[in-house]
Amino acid sequence: LKAKAGLNIKMHIDAMGSRLLSQNYIDHLKQNGIIFKFYHPFRFNHSFLKHINKRDHRKIIIIDSTIAYIGGMNLFSLISHQYNGKQAWRDSHVKILGHMVDKLTYTFKRNFNEIKHRSKRFERFSSHNDIVSTTNRFGRNYIRHFIHRYIKRSKKEIGITMAYFIPDLQTILLLIRAHKRGVKVHIITNSPEQCDVALVNRINRPILKYLIKKGLKVYYYKNRMLHAKSIYFDDKFATIGSSNMNYRSFFRDLEVNAFLRQEKWVDHLKTQFKQDLQNSRQVELKELKNISIWNKAVDMFFYMIRSFF
């Protein structure tokens, strides 16, 4: 309706992630005035395998270049309480104002091919609240870099809410070192019963087992799917966005996170974390060990190819 009324609406959608969209639906959007582009559309040529494994995982909405929203939410029915009631996915999005909207607008236009050249102004990282977005050629692991920085700086506690938790070895070691110097590390992730990608729990079972052995606290979110991706570090820093702590987000896909340094933001995420803990159960070492030899072998096979997830 807004597009028909003359509002300029542009949609940039990942081809792989939106592969179930029908051509009729896409044609309907275009016929109603929406400018529509796919990121890495399916083309069966020499670059097919390269492109299919590099996706745009960002979730950005920009309104009139003054308001933006980023986080973990996709536009589909599974997040809707209206359609799914108590089974609606637990997710997080954050409203962005001010200079960070300019950065997000730049990011969108860069990917929409409206801006051809990089801007140091928009790719510089501020010491206050700021946006970190990974790009096609540069800074593919920026978000991982800043998460590592704040893990190292943490002194009291780290609270991780993560839909898909398959961290690389360096991230694992940093979390363990934080615990050894007295930082309380708590991780909430999906249970095998609720996760929409069953292989994730096979891959991360050896990781969770190792972390629990080292003294970190791990919790499974109960009753519904957890799709949020946020971390707080002490009372000073927090991040929320589209990036999971996994190989896809850290090394392959395009992601965007807000890094926040105001107490009100951190307090809000800490409050949400405590609410999520009430809807979670602590994972015990014995339940991760108490599986058949066959399941252990399958887990290790998928763990060996974890870089694809």
In order of 55, 76, 97, 175, 252, the CA distances from 186 in angstroms are 29, 30, 30, 10, 26
Average pLDDT over residues 94-122: 79
Give the 3-state secondary structure of residue 151.
helix
Q: In terms of DSSP H, where are the helices of 89-185?
A: 99-111, 120-123, 142-153, 169-180
Q: How confident is the model at residue 15 (pLDDT cuts 50, 70, 90)?
A: confident
- Return the CATH superfamily for domain 128-308: Endonuclease Chain A (3.30.870.10)
Rounded distance, CA 44 to CA 25, Å?
23
Tell whether pTM > 0.85: yes
pLDDT tens profile 28-54? 888 888 988 888 877 666 566 666 678
User: In this structure, are residues 232 and 187 in contact, taking their beta carbons and an 8 Å threshold?
Assistant: no
Across the chain, mean pLDDT equals 89
Q: Which residue has the higher pLDDT, 75 or 178?
A: 178
Q: Which pLDDT score is estimated for 144? A: 95
What integer pLDDT is reported at residue 114 of this predicted model? Answer: 58
Specify whether the CB–CB gap between 253 and 224 falls below 8 A. no
Share of the chain above pLDDT 70, in %: 89
Q: Where are the domains of the chain?
A: 128-308
